[in-house]
Structure 1
Amino acid sequence: MRNLDISMIGVPIDLGQSRRGVDMGPSAMRYAGAVERLRALGHQVMDQGNIVISAVHEKTSSEAGLKNLEEVTAATVKLAEAVSNIVADNHFPLVLGGDHSIAIGTLAGLADHYKNLGVIWYDAHADMNTRETSPSGNIHGMPLAVSMGLGHERLVNVHRDGVKIDPRNVVIIGARALDPGERKLIKEQGVKVFTMHEIDRYGMSAVIQQTLEYFSTRQVDGVHLSLDLDGLDPLYTPGVGTPVPGGITYRESHLAMELLEDAKVITSAEFVEVNPVLDEYNKTADVAVALMGSLFGEKLL
């Protein structure tokens, strides 16, 4: 097992979607023992606290059909700077969300340091909507599209102008709720997707192996894991804002994390969409921290 210098940073924001409470996700994961669990594995963990999010006492008026555009943009700019500084210090960035809009900032910060970054999007959703295709105007359904250079210019140009990731370097795992516009973009942009059909048919081991082989052919210079807890079936993670039945199991998810750790390919990670308001006795945060354990080298024996 490799011993890492991990810099953990929380982003307590719930403005990228419509259900309040996910801003407490970073605190819930810390309460579930994230720092202690990783330190017990021999890693050096520096908890840098939380990005400061401006309070919004009333829902702001939407701009161009996007909810809380100003606030989400400001938060992701701060996160991008923090992530870029973490990588510059040769530390492993571990980001705790917050809703999935934060990935706009994470990927923007990583783009300072990687020329051909691979991205694993572990999620029930593709998060590839734009303002033209989004049924809700929620920015947490747009971060992958934004990072590919598609969407509102203020989001696309967070931290640095333009495209942050090559769509052909993205692998979505666990998809089972795709909007029509997303299906179209996936095909147009050449994004590789393993839906629940492939996971059920071939098994998680084969899916991860094919993902690793795919990244090898793409010659990526790093791999970011963006894990939305709604990628798992809501039986295991009830505390998420957009649960979708028929998801990845608890054990399949641990296997995925274990195989990724065995391959030593993950260079940054974020865990998002833990909503304690909707949870049962912090169950979803406990699952998130358990998966962190497997990703960072925890073994059964």
Structure 2
Amino acid sequence: MAVNNRINIVEFPTNLGLKEPQPGVEPGVKNLPAWLRGNGFYHMLKPKNIYTLEPPPYSMQMDPEAGVRNSEAVIRYAKQQAELMDKVLQEAPFPVIIGGDCSILIGNAIALKKRGNYGLFFLDGHTDFMLPELSQTGGIAGMDLAVVTGYGHPKLTDIYGLKPYFEEENIWCVGNREYDRDYVAPILNSKIHYYDLDSLHDTGTEQCTNDFLNMVTDKKLDGFFIHLDVDVLDDHIMPAVDSRTPDGLTYAELNHILEKLLPHEKACGMEITILDPDRDPTAEYTREFMANMQRNILNSRKK
């Protein structure tokens, strides 16, 4: 089979950042790489290489010092991720990183910080900018954006003395639709460029993405990374997620954003998180997602 020398796939099949959906039941997001592979996504992309890093065993262990679950396992895995990503980023092919939950952002962020100063386009139906004392689950997957900007216990936020992994002002947080005042207060008080779903519709995807890319150019950043949590999509077209919320982006809106970001010369990788195969047993929603991602990725990385 011919390969696309411009694409690599990296598998980070972790669920360490999530709470059990039911007592004794692990979150199914760890199966996403195998699910996408089995449903033909890898065959569509024809990556040059496929890298896999198995995570530590899942548990519900709470770290009272950090106020989060599985902190030691997440830290160990993040360090291993960063080591692997250092190798992957040295190669020419664009890395498409398949989670897992959103805690994979930490290891990817560390790898990038080691290389320079990077921006982050954070597409998510939640801000993930929650501090441990406000979390009802203790799951790091709801705090990952806070962690990578330096909020939280140093054991998570200052690995290798690299805090912060991303500068706040170099981040666009786009698509949140949890509007509770206490929930959004931390990100509103930060320097992150914040576009909830309503303000994104007011601004428009064109202006939002252009402003981000202009920032990358004006600041002469070394590159930028894309975080895509599939729960940014409208619940009607992507209900296979752990924390469902009404409304969300259409595929047309998401595609317009990715059509501008992915081909850019400073784009250095994209991670895909939270699609839970257990919540899409017929692959109905997965197939539509794969078709849209295939077009976006292949059109941006043509031979």
TM-score bracket for the superposition, by shorter chain length: 0.7 to 0.9
Post-superposition Cα deviations, 1:192-226, rounded to whole Å, max 9, x if no partner, equal 01221133234323332233233333332211000
Please list, as runs of the form range in 1=range in 2, the aligned pairs for 1:196-211 lying within 5 A after superposition. 196-211=197-212
Kindly provide the amino acid, as one letter, of the partner of residue 101 in structure 1.
S
Relative to structure 1, is the Cα distance of residues 61 and 141 closer, same or farther in structure 2, using a 3 angstrom cutoff? Answer: closer
* Consecutive unaligned residues in structure 1, runs of 5 or more: none
Partners of 1:189 and 1:59 lie apart in 2 by 30
Q: Check whether the contact 1:148–1:167 (CA below 8 A) recurs between aligned residues.
A: yes
CA RMSD across the alignment: 2.3
Equivalent pairs counted in the alignment come to 290
Post-superposition Cα deviations, 1:139-184, rounded to whole Å, max 9, x if no partner, equal 0011111111111222113355421110000001111115655533
Partners of 1:168 and 1:23 lie apart in 2 by 31
Q: Check whether the contact 1:51–1:79 (CA below 8 A) recurs between aligned residues.
A: yes
Partners of 1:263 and 1:162 lie apart in 2 by 27
TM-score of the superposed pair, with normalisation by structure 2: 0.87
Partners of 1:80 and 1:177 lie apart in 2 by 30
Relative to structure 1, is the Cα distance of residues 7 and 297 closer, same or farther in structure 2, using a 3 angstrom cutoff? Answer: closer
- Asked if residue 104 in structure 1 is aligned to residue 124 in structure 2, the reply is no
Post-superposition Cα deviations, 1:39-68, rounded to whole Å, max 9, x if no partner, equal 3xxxx52111x2122223x53244333112
Partners of 2:292 and 2:226 lie apart in 1 by 12
- Asked if residue 259 in structure 1 is aligned to residue 260 in structure 2, the reply is yes
- Asked if residue 24 in structure 1 is aligned to residue 24 in structure 2, the reply is no
Greater Cα shift, 180-189 or 268-277: 180-189
Q: Check whether the contact 1:175–1:194 (CA below 8 A) recurs between aligned residues.
A: yes
Identity over aligned pairs, percent: 25
SS class of match (2:287): helix
Please list, as runs of the form range in 1=range in 2, the aligned pairs for 1:202-281 lying within 5 A after superposition. 202-281=203-282
TM-score of the superposed pair, with normalisation by structure 1: 0.87
Structure 1 residue 102 displacement after superposition: 0.9
- Asked if residue 76 in structure 1 is aligned to residue 53 in structure 2, the reply is no
Greater Cα shift, 250-259 or 212-221: 212-221
Post-superposition Cα deviations, 1:236-282, rounded to whole Å, max 9, x if no partner, equal 11111112111001221122212223544421110000101112522
Relative to structure 1, is the Cα distance of residues 113 and 294 closer, same or farther in structure 2, using a 3 angstrom cutoff? Answer: farther
SS class of match (1:112): helix
Q: Alignment partner for residue 36 of structure 1, among 33, 43, 46?
A: 43
Post-superposition Cα deviations, 1:69-107, rounded to whole Å, max 9, x if no partner, equal 122222222111111121123443221000101101111
Partners of 2:284 and 2:79 lie apart in 1 by 31
Q: Check whether the contact 1:120–1:224 (CA below 8 A) recurs between aligned residues.
A: yes
SS class of match (1:205): helix
Partners of 1:158 and 1:142 lie apart in 2 by 16
Q: Check whether the contact 2:216–2:223 (CA below 8 A) recurs between aligned residues.
A: no
Relative to structure 1, is the Cα distance of residues 92 and 261 closer, same or farther in structure 2, using a 3 angstrom cutoff? Answer: closer
Structure 1 residue 35 displacement after superposition: 2.2
